[in-house]
Amino acid sequence: MRLSKLFAPTLRENPAEAEVPSHRLLLRAAFIRPVVSGISATLPLGLRTMRKVERIVREEMDASGAQEIRLPITLPADPWKTTGRYGLYGDLLFKLRDRHGREMLLGPTQEEAVTPLVAGDRPSYRDLPVNLYQIEWKYRDEFRPRFGLLRGREFLMKDAYSFDRDEGGMARSYQVMSAAYRRIFDRCGLRYVVVEAEPGQIGGGINHEFMAVAEVGEDLFVECADGDYIADMKAARPLVLQPDVRVETEPLTEVHTPGAAAVEAVAAFLSRDRTEVLKCMMFDVDGRPVAVLVPGDREIEEAKLERLFFPKPVRTFDEEDFVAHGLAKGYVGPRGLPDGVQILADHMVRGKGNWVTGANRPDHHVTGANTPRDFRVDLYEDVVVIRSGDRCPNDGGELRVGRSIVVGHIYQLGTKYSDPLKATFVDEDGSERPFEMGCYGIGISRIMAAVAEQYHDDAGLTWPKAIAPFQAAVIVANRDDERASLEGERIYEELTELGVDAVVDDRDETAGVKFADADLVGYPVQVVVGRKGIGRGTADVKVRRTGERSHVPLGEATSAAVNALSAAP
């Protein structure tokens, strides 16, 4: 490719709308252009990098035995209602109607499409396992798109779906995908961690996220200082130390706490520590009231509740809910709740007592509340938000919080979709059984941004050679020097001949502009041919990532560039 012909209008100044490095640089280096919030156009350079990521993904998926298909983006809404995800996704779905008024949606993921597809031909157990994947654009009307490609409303995703006969098969398919994912992210050059995670709106049991470590990451993870545990913050289970000493049980006493609704206020009013207050939060789970109890210094991880009740939508009570259930907002406690309210408590509540908690009466709390004497707990579950300093569930070590960008997520779904969609195969004994499914996602467009986030410097992007839009740039430094142009052309052609993805900067621009653009775009290797070098019979080879330069004899410039490239990261 000749840069004089390439559509790559680079920007000298930072676009006003871009805050994070990846977004800023992808815009400046002409990889993408904004269209509307959360949706971008992809320019030639961006498309080349994305295609290279795609190719890596495709190769590893194919090598792992998965087969590529293509599912529609425009989907009927009905199967989504069957699985309950129509309500669960809610406004996150791009919804539309066709001319007959039929409800449709733009696919945010494709379980509802692929499952009937496989079940439709009523396969035999002999046909299993099957793993189908596609690379296609996905649509999610995010409540707050941000950071360019990192959280867009339209994004390119590889999604795969495995169908197995039994749980053992599902676990094997899962392992195969997990291994393929590691190879993919390794080849892309990403620095990443694999963590236990929350299944979110996909649902299911065992699942892992592949997180690219990055300061601007929206996703938090915790890691044990001893290195034996790592998990998504939303999934991490803190080790709960039970107090050894049982304190004397206090009598239950109602106290007047006017205006002290929040935990902070109650604790201050009664001169107690926040940890002595029992926080009682009300949730609506698909129309049913659920009270959730955690210590007053703790917060509730809604993702954990969603997982517990999947696929029923979980939301906190609004004003109307409090009125409808006759509850005093700010003064709710587990004692004296109306019948039919399920009471769920975190493990941290177990074994402690003498709580200060709401009295279910405006402006009143109780002290000395103990279970089971004063209130019941229907279920103990892990529901708290983990935080730095919590104990590792494996060895009690200290947990620390890190930031990352989720680039891949794999799930063991079991029969979460095959059951409601009645997706079955015929087993050996002639019976129809639901598939044991898995699903596996990779954000292709997000990988491009995540790599940009990990690999850049003040001058621009520093792509790993595997996914750089071009591997090498031949820069003709003196546009008025015919010799430089000829040598540049020669080296460019030789590189291309050798299978190197190269460009030649033959633009009518000054050397400074060409150098700056080459650094900005981030070609892993630059070859500079100019009057100065030609005078002494040399060209320069520069490795972008390290900044390392060397003078090489003009005649050996091509092979020197090839060598530099093979040595480059």
Tell me which of 146, 182, 272, 364 binds RNA, using CB under 7 A.
146
Per-residue buried b or exposed e for 339-362, using 16+ beta carbons within 10 Å of the residue's own CB: eebbbbbbbbbeebbbbbbbbbbe
Query: Is the separation of the CB atoms in 212 and 192 below 8 Å?
Result: yes
Q: Give me the DSSP letters along 37-50.
A: TTEEEE-HHHHHHH
Nearest residue to 8 via CA among 500, 530, 509: 509
Tell me which of 103, 302, 363, 398 binds RNA, using CB under 7 A.
302
Q: Residues 517 to 556: which contact RNA by CB under 7 A?
A: 517-520, 528-534, 539-540, 542
Query: Is the separation of the CB atoms in 282 and 334 below 8 Å?
Result: no
Q: Which stretch binds RNA (CB under 7 A): 4-12, 395-403, 442-450, 561-569?
A: 4-12
Q: Which stretch binds RNA (CB under 7 A): 255-263, 405-413, 427-435, 496-504?
A: 255-263
Closer CB to RNA, residue 108 or residue 533?
533
Q: How many CB atoms lie within 10 A of CB 17?
A: 11
Tell me which of 263, 407, 442, 502 binds RNA, using CB under 7 A.
263
Q: Residues 32 to 51: which contact RNA by CB under 7 A?
A: 34, 36-38
Q: Which stretch binds RNA (CB under 7 A): 29-37, 52-60, 401-409, 556-564?
A: 29-37
Per-residue buried b or exposed e for 235-274, using 16+ beta carbons within 10 Å of the residue's own CB: bbbbbbeeeeeeeeeeebeebebeebbebeebbebbebeb
Q: Which stretch binds RNA (CB under 7 A): 233-241, 390-398, 413-421, 477-485?
A: 477-485
Tell me which of 31, 133, 147, 523 binds RNA, using CB under 7 A.
147
DSSP H/E element including 561: helix 557-567
Nearest residue to 440 via CA among 174, 218, 187: 174
Q: Residues 320 to 339: which contact RNA by CB under 7 A?
A: 322, 329-332
* Least distance (Å) between residue 193 CB and RNA: 22
Site string for RNA, 355-374 (x = CB under 7 A): ---x----------------
Tell me which of 62, 318, 428, 556 binds RNA, using CB under 7 A.
318
* Least distance (Å) between residue 261 CB and RNA: 4
* Least distance (Å) between residue 546 CB and RNA: 12
Angstrom distance (rounded) from CA 569 to CA 162: 34
Closer CB to RNA, residue 41 or residue 262?
262
Residues 6+ away with beta carbon under 8 Å from 290: 282, 283, 284, 305, 341, 342, 343, 344
Closer CB to RNA, residue 208 or residue 542?
542
Query: Residue 490 in 3-state DSSP?
Result: helix
Query: Is the separation of the CB atoms in 50 and 445 below 8 Å?
Result: yes
Q: Residues 383 to 402: which contact RNA by CB under 7 A?
A: 385
Query: Is the separation of the CB atoms in 343 and 234 below 8 Å?
Result: no
Percentage helix, strand, coil for the chain under 3-state DSSP, each rounded to 5 = 30, 30, 40
Closer CB to RNA, residue 3 or residue 466?
3
Tell me which of 13, 121, 339, 458 binds RNA, using CB under 7 A.
13
* Least distance (Å) between residue 369 CB and RNA: 13
Q: Which stretch binds RNA (CB under 7 A): 9-17, 51-59, 182-190, 411-419?
A: 9-17
- Amino acid, res. 119: A
Provide the CA 110 distance to its chain's centre, in angstroms: 17
* Least distance (Å) between residue 519 CB and RNA: 4
Provide the CA 138 distance to its chain's centre, in angstroms: 14
Site string for RNA, 447-466 (x = CB under 7 A): ------------x-------
486 binds RNA (CB under 7 A): no
Q: Which stretch binds RNA (CB under 7 A): 236-244, 273-281, 396-404, 424-432?
A: 273-281
